[in-house]
Chain A
Amino acid sequence: MSASWLKRHISSLWLSGVFAFFYLPLLFLVVFSFNSTRQDSVFTGFSLRWYQALWNDSRLVEGFSLSLNVALMSATLGTVLATLAAFALVRFGNFRGRTLFNAMLSSPLVMPEVIIGLSLLLLFVGIERMFGWPQRGTFTIVLGHALLGMAYASVVIQSRLKEMDRSVEEAALDLGCRPFQVFFLVTLPNMTQALLAAWLLTFTLSFDDVVISEFLAGPGVTTLPQVIFNYARRGVNPSIYAAASLLMLAVSLAVVIYGIQIARQSRKTGMQPED
């Protein structure tokens, strides 16, 4: 290996090295989910027993359905709120309190999750003492996740709103549309991709979150990541590897389908896909 060889190939070497680092743990999870024993150092033989164990583990299954519900609700709530906030920031010019509004909106991006969890917990406990409601549980987790997701979603939606061509909306207004018709018939359809991306991002954040859920979950309410976190602290459990592999399969499928869709769309219109 001469120096010039290294110089020529340093870029692909570095790229593949880091990619190997990224994918090594994923490969490990998939391979050992098919292991026939509890071992996590030697592959002793192929079996599907951990998938079966996963299926029969009621805590994991219930956690999964709770997480799915929480993620669906918080993604929807977070995206709706983020759309309103992004609209206000991009379209309303310098309204009163804009700086404070913007700072509060984007703060969760730079706040350690432990602090978000703690401060929301104190809020919910305070409200519960005053009004006897809400109990800590699914509802409080949804609110917490929506707050976090809204911050990320509004970044995505704002950037789309900024680059959008306003002349189409103006044309609709000139042709006699009412402002709210313009919003629902012109503005929203023009940003579906960004809304979808924002919703997916919020969904993933919620589906993945441990810390905020740990703070805001009540007794008897455990999301999938919380169940996994509790198992993981106790030691090796290949059921979790199986869960991880299924999750990866789902994500990869979604990405492939999305990719095909985009490719087909761009072929149909002969244009570059929006990124």
Chain B
Amino acid sequence: MPAMTKVSGFFSHMFLRHGRSLVLTVPWFWLLLFFAVPFFILLRISVTDMGEGLNPFAPLVTSDNGELSLHLKLSNYVSLLHDSDTGWLQTLYTESYLLSLKYALWTTLLCLFFGYPFAYFLARSKPSVRPLLLLMVMLPFWTSFLLRVYAWKGLLTDQGIINHLLIFLGITAEPVQMLYNDVSMLLGMTYVYLPFMVLPLYANLVKLDQRLLEASQDLGATPWETFWLVTVPLSRSGIVAGSMLVFIPCLGEFVIPSLLGGAENLMIGRVVWDEMFSSNNWPRASALAIAMIVGVVMPLAWYNQRVTRRAEQELSA
């Protein structure tokens, strides 16, 4: 089959000459189109007014008798911070930002509190049972996140199992309101994001050099001191990585407040959604997103990278 060899010869020739640039071009194109371009669209829409008629946003550049004019409006950003009724920093947006930060921070702390000892004990468990235990951490992760959140809704209702249990144990006489408030929000978020804290911490703690702990004990430190002065500082990059994986998705969390939150648990993800689809205010939704990227995501990503790099340097040193 001469045709076949010709074709395959052509391909191998193409691959030899252009293989490298082909391998690079495809993902470059993809990332630019689906990551960089959307970011600039977001940026561009965030600095325009709402459009007239069917246009969701006003044009950035207009030409009037051959005269180009640029319409750059920062009013969307101002309106995030200022409301004519309530004044500066008292808007719906600042409030939902602060609330989102509060929930994200508390969730991160709770995950750290429950997750650190968990990962520590996991890393100290017998090597023979470790894979099984790790698998048990991963298993809920493979079953729908939505369904696991939904289950809490059933567990936490006034007539739910947990309230029944509390009353049965005589802890309360009346059902405690646990759904649609801070309890259900924090519980749901901690539940969902705890594995994201545990896994990087485990990966870090399992590599910990045992000799350092022995040295610390030989030098007279109590186990408690060893833990705080040796183990914790050495696992800093794991703590930072885990906290990042919990904090950032919590900040923009959309599903958990929708299912487990009440009307007053309005987080920023929901606000972005409402601006986009209820108020049809695309410029403001974009400004909110840009504010979140520049104000929170970028600094945190930068900090995370710095800590990781330093940990790598320390390891190789």
Chain A residues near B (Cβ < 8 Å): 10-12, 14-15, 18-19, 21-26, 28-29, 32, 40-41, 81, 84-85, 87-88, 92, 95, 97, 101, 104-105, 107-108, 110-115, 118-123, 125-126, 143, 147, 150, 178-181, 204, 207-208, 210-211, 214, 225, 228-229, 232-233, 236, 240-241, 243-244, 247-248, 251-252, 255, 259, 275
Rank and list the top 8 A-B pairs by shortest CB-CB distance, nearest first: A112-B252, A25-B151, A119-B38, A180-B15, A11-B121, A85-B27, A244-B147, A40-B154
Contact residues in A for B124 (Cβ distance below 8 Å): 11
Is A178 in contact with B15, judged by CB distance below 8 angstroms? yes
Q: A41-B159, A88-B24 are in contact. Are A180 and B19 (CB under 8 A)?
A: yes
Specify which of A26, A115, A225 lies most central, judged by the most chain B CB atoms within 10 Å of its CB: A115
5 additional contacts (CB under 8 A) given A22-B136, A112-B252: A28-B155, A105-B27, A110-B297, A244-B151, A251-B143
- The reply to whether B282 and A225 contact each other, CB–CB distance below 8 Å, is no
- Do B272 and A101 touch across chains, with their CB atoms under 8 A apart? no
With A and B bound together, what is the CA distance between A248 and B141 in angstroms? 11
> A109 → chain B, closest Cβ, in Å?
8
Bound together, the chains give a CA A113 to CA B146 distance in angstroms of: 14
- Per-position binary interface string of chain B over residues 91-102, scored 1 when its CB falls under 8 Å from any chain A CB and 0 otherwise: 000000000000
Determine if B26 and A244 form an interchain contact, defined as CB atoms under 8 angstroms apart.
Answer: no
Cross-chain contact of B12 among A114, A121, A178, A255 (Cβ < 8 A): A178
- Taking a contact as CB atoms under 8 Å apart, the answer to whether B146 and A88 are in contact is no
A147 to B246, CA, bound (A): 20
CB distance from A75 to the nearest CB of B (A): 14
Give, as a whole number of angstroms, the nearest-CB distance from B241 to chain A: 11
B35 adjacent to A107 (CB under 8 Å): yes
Across the interface, B24 reaches (CB within 8 A) one of A26, A95, A104, A122, namely: A95
B31 at the interface (CB under 8 A from A): yes
Q: Is the CB of A229 within 8 A of B255?
A: yes
Chain A residue contacts of B35, Cβ below 8 A = 104, 107-108, 147
B236 within 8 A of A: no
- CB neighbours (8 Å) of A41 from chain B are 154, 157, 159-161, 164
In the complex, which residues 252-280 of chain B have their Cβ closer than 8 Å to any Cβ of chain A? Answer: 252-255, 258-259, 268-269, 272-273, 276
Contact (Cβ within 8 A) B191 A115: no
Interface size on B, residues (CB 8 A): 86
B117 and A14 within 8 A (CB): yes
Q: Is the CB of B293 within 8 A of A255?
A: no
Which residues does chain B contribute within 8 Å of A207, judged by CB atoms?
Answer: 144
A108 to B251, CA, bound (A): 14
- Whether B252 lies near A88 (C-beta < 8 A) is no
**Among candidates B137, B164, B276, residue contacting A22 with C-beta atoms closer than 8 Å:** B137
Contact of B191 among A15, A25, A232, A240 (CB under 8 A): A25
Q: Which of A110, A121, A147 has the most CB of B within 10 A?
A: A110
Query: Contact between B252 and A28 (Cβ–Cβ < 8 Å)?
Result: no
Q: How far is the CA of A2 from the CA of B112 in the complex (A)?
A: 27
Q: Which residues of A have CB within 8 Å of B244?
A: 110
* CB nearest neighbor in A for B248: A110
Instruction: Name the A residues within 8 Å of B23 (CB-CB).
Output: 84, 87-88, 92
User: A225 contacts which chain B residues (CB < 8 A)?
Assistant: 144, 146
With A and B bound together, what is the CA distance between A21 and B27 in angstroms?
Answer: 41
Within 8 Å of chain A (Cβ to Cβ): is B199? no
Q: Check B31–A255 contact: CB distance below 8 A.
A: no
Contact A32 B42 (CB under 8 A): no
| Residues in A whose Cβ lies below 8 Å from that of B176 | none
- Cβ of B51 within 8 Å of any chain A Cβ, yes or no, is no
Give residues 29-43 of B contacting A (CB, 8 Å): 30-39, 41-42
In whole angstroms, how far apart are the Cα atoms of A147 and B33 in the complex? 11
* Residue of A110, A126, A244 touching B300 (CB-CB under 8 A): A110
The smallest beta-carbon distance between B184 and chain A, in angstroms, is: 12
* Segment with Cβ contacts to A, from B78-86, B209-217, B284-292: B284-292
Q: Which residues from A are CB-within-8-Å of B147? A: 29, 228, 240, 243-244, 247
